[in-house]
Amino acid sequence: MSSGPLVLGIETSCDETAVGIVCGRTLLANVISSSVEEHARFGGVVPEIASRAHLEAMPSVIEQALFESNVTLKDIDAIGVTAGPGLIGALLVGTSAAQGLALALNKPVYGVNHLSAHLAVDALDESTSLKPAIGLLVSGGHSSIIQITDMARGVEVLGQTIDDAAGEAFDKIARLLELDFPGGPSIDRLAREGDARAIEFPRGLQDSDYNFSFSGLKTAVSRYLHQTPHSIRADIAASFQEAVVDVLLTKALRACIERGIDSLIIAGGVAANSRLRTEAAERCEIAGIELRIPPSALCTDNGAMVAAITSLALSAGVAPTHLGFATLSTAPLDHPVWA
Ligand code: KG4
Ligand code: ZN
């Protein structure tokens, strides 16, 4: 086995009950049980259903991760757990499990920031060295451009959305197009059959700073649908997706150039989007920027990312979190680990 601390990470901020185990920067297991199908008929995640599903799934997900890693609980050096942002009831299941384990095993526990964890999953690509990068974090609740110097101690947020998050925009447009929940993967699939140049949707705040706005785009798509009810759904999906991808990458690459940083990390659920991945690869190649984008399965919520940020914090000498720590529905990125 490779060197470094053996860390078990628990993620329960939304509808995935997930446990990952890493040794240093090596991924050993990444087990996910999702309650997404139980929420589908409501068109969004129902917090109470998510919390109950976490309670039911937690023991077997932990057992499976240990089994796949070929380790026992006694071998674990530290436990990491998402403490926020997220749904409070859902977070509490994870933080209670983590603190219970820490007490029983007499090991340190790290309450970590879900957003920092999304970025830190990049560290599990052992072929790359950990160096300064610009981060484009695009999830269901967040869209931010970040300057990363030390992931384990805090990062500088350069800009973020002033209204909807990128994933939220995907989910809302999918609902307008009567596609399945969650909307991002549905739009991604439908867009492959459409023409991305069919409709010129607006690119919000394109010329200003590093902030994003997706509400104008949402309104434009909604208006287009009402005015042309028989238009081709796949063209709308592809053109909408193109507008989001264009604005995200324009700003992320501008940040790399203006800040003199030649590495871009794209993370969060929307980083699983196939068009974003292809276009990012092309634009980064042209600009001479190294693109670091995790495999799709590590972009959406998972436990490996929680184990990754915990492992980085442990290796950087960051102190563990005090037992009895709070869960937070919102949490800034400059605090990767709870005190
Ligand atoms: O990071 P994540 O799994 O959960 C949060 O922390 O929010 O992100 C979930 C978001 C959802 O809005 C979902 O629709 C979006 O990521 N998403 C995608 C794709 N896969 C997931 N958006 C676009 N294309 C995808 N392939
Ligand atoms: Zn997430």
* Euclidean distance between CA atoms 3 and 77, whole angstroms: 12
Ligand 1: which of 14, 136, 139 to mutate, judged by most atoms within 8 Å of the beta carbon? 139
Q: Is the same domain home to 109 and 148? A: no
Residue 38 near residue 82 (C-beta atoms within 8 A): no
Strands 263-267 and 290-292: parallel
pLDDT at residue number 1:
52
* Euclidean distance between CA atoms 54 and 11, whole angstroms: 10
Q: Whose CA is nearest to atom 13 of ligand 1?
A: 184
Rounded distance from Cα 247 to ligand 1 centre (Å): 17
Q: Which residues of the chain have pLDDT under 50?
A: none
Rounded distance from Cα 19 to ligand 2 centre (Å): 14
Rounded distance from Cα 28 to ligand 1 centre (Å): 24
Is 140 among the domain residues? yes
Q: Is the same domain home to 283 and 143? A: yes
Is 169 among the domain residues? yes
Q: Is the same domain home to 91 and 179? A: no
Q: Whose CA is nearest to atom 26 of ligand 1?
A: 273
CATH number (domain holding residue 158): 3.30.420.40
Q: Is the same domain home to 251 and 164? A: yes
Is 272 among the domain residues? yes
| Chain segment 140-178, per-residue pLDDT in tens | 999 999 999 999 998 999 999 999 999 999 999 999 999
Q: Is the same domain home to 115 and 86? A: yes
Q: Whose CA is nearest to atom 22 of ligand 1?
A: 184
Number of domains in the chain: 2
Rounded distance from Cα 297 to ligand 1 centre (Å): 11
Q: Is the same domain home to 81 and 56? A: yes
* Euclidean distance between CA atoms 88 and 59, whole angstroms: 20
* Euclidean distance between CA atoms 318 and 292, whole angstroms: 25
Is 258 among the domain residues? yes
Rounded distance from Cα 219 to ligand 2 centre (Å): 25
Q: Is the same domain home to 158 and 267? A: yes
Q: Whose CA is nearest to atom 23 of ligand 1?
A: 184
Beta bridge pairs of residue 23:
6, 26
Q: Is the same domain home to 218 and 246? A: yes
* Euclidean distance between CA atoms 89 and 97, whole angstroms: 13
Q: Is the same domain home to 287 and 306? A: no
Taking the model in full, what pTM does it have? 0.96
Q: Is the same domain home to 28 and 115? A: yes
Is 48 among the domain residues? yes
Q: Whose CA is nearest to atom 18 of ligand 1?
A: 184
Is 339 among the domain residues? no
Task: For residue 183, give its domain range.
Answer: 133-293
Rounded distance from Cα 231 to ligand 2 centre (Å): 33
Q: Is the same domain home to 284 and 153? A: yes
Q: Is the same domain home to 138 and 114? A: no
Q: Whose CA is nearest to atom 10 of ligand 1?
A: 140
* Euclidean distance between CA atoms 183 and 178, whole angstroms: 9
Phi and psi, residue 111, nearest 5°: -85, 115
Ligand 1: which of 170, 244, 266 to mutate, judged by most atoms within 8 Å of the beta carbon? 170
Q: Whose CA is nearest to atom 7 of ligand 1?
A: 140
Is 151 among the domain residues? yes
Which residues have any ligand 1 atom within 6 Å of their CB? 14, 139-141, 167, 170-171, 182-185, 188, 268-270, 272-273, 300-301
Is 303 among the domain residues? yes
Of the ligands numbered here, which is closest to the C-alpha atom of 138?
A: 1
Rounded distance from Cα 228 to ligand 2 centre (Å): 35
